[in-house]
């Protein structure tokens, strides 16, 4: 996917650029934060991914891009999109999702351009299935000009925070490097995360939905939990592969819902013990993508004060957009 010379040139530019960008220390968190020229706070490693994608990826009209802010439902949606778009190639008894983590079925664009390894995709569908955490305004121009389809999922920020904090806990080698929960909330509120602010991320794709009608489908984790069946049908229609009445009669939608459910995926051997190679030098355990899979777990972790702080930012950022009704 990425031409090696162009990729090396981008990596050199990244190395030269990072020290010139304003940076912000990030209480106890290891990765240096940099503000890129489009005024978005990113870690230097996510900036590298953004630059590589901007300079090496050209979207095609048939591409399907799954965009998410981290911890909003990426793993689940990867599984569902993979199962929907490849349903004519695999049967449910020997499905690739039984032996591969969903992240191994749909590659992440940022990882793909770094690995230069398009063969990580297991999809047989003619459309390229790609995922990204890149904020909407930092995607390459070809995404808008090609008219490719984007599926975006977001989630109540209080649950996003709790999920992110637990992942951080699992990934932090030295206990002293993990900030206390209250500082974690502070970090999340001040927009210090790998891909900028949660609120700006959601707003970017929400606005793209009005700007490019029919090209962006927005889902919420909460709606998916409430009625997965209807969301799977909506997804299939948006992806141009609606279920036929025969498929509906044969229970294909239910099979997909069951295959991709938290209970099913999290109990598979591959997701309990397997590892995922993200880039050449970073691997991650598959089980970190499965914790509780519930709506409202924030109530078990956040104080009233923490919740009020996150609610206030949501009011300030999302007020008047129609987004508030989706996250309450």
- What are the residue numbers of the active site? 133
Give me Rg for the CA atoms of the chain.
19
Between 44 and 68, CB nearer to ligand PAP = 68
Residue 271, helix vs strand vs coil: helix
* Among positions 57, 76, 154, 195, the unique one binding ligand PAP when judged by CB under 6 A: 76
Residues 226-265 that bind ligand PAP (CB under 6 A): 260-262, 265
The β-bridge partners of 288 are: none
Contact 85, 64 (CB under 8 A): yes
Exposed/middle/buried for residue 186 (C-beta within 10 Å: 0-12, 13-18, 19+): middle
By CB under 6 A, the count of residues binding ligand PAP is 22
Minimum distance of ligand PAP from residue 19's CB (angstroms): 28
* Among positions 289, 310, 314, 327, the unique one binding ligand PAP when judged by CB under 6 A: 289
Position of tokens 């990596």? 11
Looking only at the bridges linking them, the beta strands covering 275-279 and 282-285 are antiparallel
Between 10 and 220, CB nearer to ligand PAP = 220
* Lookup: tokens for 137: 């305004």
Element (H, E) at 260: none
Between 44 and 75, CB nearer to ligand PAP = 75
* Among positions 49, 73, 140, 179, the unique one binding ligand PAP when judged by CB under 6 A: 73
Contact 56, 142 (CB under 8 A): no
**Binding marks (x or -) toward ligand PAP, 260..279, rule CB under 6 A?**
xxx--x--------------
Minimum distance of ligand PAP from residue 288's CB (angstroms): 8
Between 166 and 215, CB nearer to ligand PAP = 166
114 φ/ψ sector (left φ>0, alpha ψ -120 to 50, else beta): alpha
Residue 97 sits in the site that holds ligand PAP (CB under 6 A): no
* Among positions 137, 166, 215, 234, the unique one binding ligand PAP when judged by CB under 6 A: 166
Residue 212 sits in the site that holds ligand PAP (CB under 6 A): no
Residue 68, helix vs strand vs coil: strand
**Binding marks (x or -) toward ligand PAP, 49..68, rule CB under 6 A?**
-------------------x
Minimum distance of ligand PAP from residue 70's CB (angstroms): 4
The total of other beta-carbon atoms located within 10 Å of residue 211's CB is 11
105: closest CA among 113, 114, 95? 95
**Interface with ligand PAP (CB under 6 A):** 68, 70-76, 79, 159, 163, 166, 260-262, 265, 289-293, 297
């Amino acid at each position: 996917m990425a031409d090696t010379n162009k990729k090396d040139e981008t990596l050199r530019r990244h190395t030269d650029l990072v020290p010139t960008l304003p940076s912000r220390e990030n209480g106890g968190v290891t990765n240096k934060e940099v503000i890129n020229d489009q005024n978005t706070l990113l870690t230097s490693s996510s900036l590298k991914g953004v630059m590589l994608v901007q300079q090496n990826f050209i979207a095609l009209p048939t591409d399907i891009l799954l965009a998410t802010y981290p911890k909003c439902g990426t793993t689940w949606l990867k599984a569902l999109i993979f199962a929907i778009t490849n349903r004519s190639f695999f049967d449910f008894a020997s499905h690739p999702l039984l032996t591969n983590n969903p992240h191994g079925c749909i590659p992440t664009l940022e990882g793909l351009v770094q690995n230069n390894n398009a063969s990580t995709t297991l999809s047989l569908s003619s459309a390229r299935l790609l995922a990204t955490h890149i904020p909407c305004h930092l995607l390459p121009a070809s995404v808008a000009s090609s008219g490719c389809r984007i599926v975006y999922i977001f989630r109540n920020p209080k649950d996003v925070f709790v999920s992110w904090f637990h992942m951080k806990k699992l990934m932090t080698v030295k206990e002293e490097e993990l900030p206390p929960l209250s500082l974690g909330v502070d970090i999340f509120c001040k927009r210090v995360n790998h891909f900028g602010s949660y609120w700006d991320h959601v707003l970017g794709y929400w606005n793209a939905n009005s700007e490019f009608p029919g090209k962006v489908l927005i889902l919420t984790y909460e709606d998916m939990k409430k009625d997965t069946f209807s969301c799977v049908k909506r997804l299939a229609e948006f992806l141009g592969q609606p279920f036929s009445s025969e498929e509906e009669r044969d229970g294909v939608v239910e099979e997909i819902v069951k295959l991709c459910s938290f209970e099913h995926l999290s109990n598979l051997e591959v997701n309990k013990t397997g590892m995922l190679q993200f880039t050449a030098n970073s691997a991650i355990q598959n089980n970190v993508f499965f914790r509780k899979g519930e709506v409202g777990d924030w109530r078990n972790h956040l104080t009233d004060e923490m919740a009020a702080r996150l609610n206030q930012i949501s009011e300030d950022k999302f007020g008047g957009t129609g987004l508030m009704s989706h996250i309450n």
